[in-house]
Amino acid sequence: MVKYFMKVKCKIWLEEKDGVAFAEGRRMLLEAVNRLGSLHAAAKELGMSYRAAWGKIKATEKVLGVKLLEVTTGGKGGGGAILTSEAEELILKYKKYTERMTSLMEKEFKRIFGNKKS
């Protein structure tokens, strides 16, 4: 019998006809904004430009037809960003879905390939 020393990996994203609507990177970006209070700081933490981060947020907003961020511009107190309730809901649903799919994939992998570990 062949012994398998592998594990299953999969990337999950949501798309529409023009491309990606939401994926792991956008989830990470929104969670960083939530934690840091700033899109600029979130983009920097993830090693992306502010322009790229803003473009991803705007593309997702366009597809979903909802705002994901409430943004305040700079000034005396400085600017910032917070997640909308729609963004929070999207993150929760995406995480729930990906966790369920990952669990299902792992179970099916073990069922089909066996439960061998390296």
Instruction: List the structure tokens of 116.
Output: 């061998």
Calculate the CA dihedral of residues 30, 36, 39, 41 and round it to 10 degrees.
Answer: -130
**Span 92-116, pLDDT tens digits:** 999 999 999 999 999 999 888 876 5
Tell me the pLDDT band of 117, cut-offs 50, 70 and 90: low
- Which whole number is the average pLDDT over 39-62? 96
pLDDT at 1: 56
Judge whether 83 and 66 are in contact, CB under 8 Å. no
Q: Which top CATH class is 23-112?
A: mainly alpha
**Span 51-73, pLDDT tens digits:** 999 999 999 999 999 999 999 88
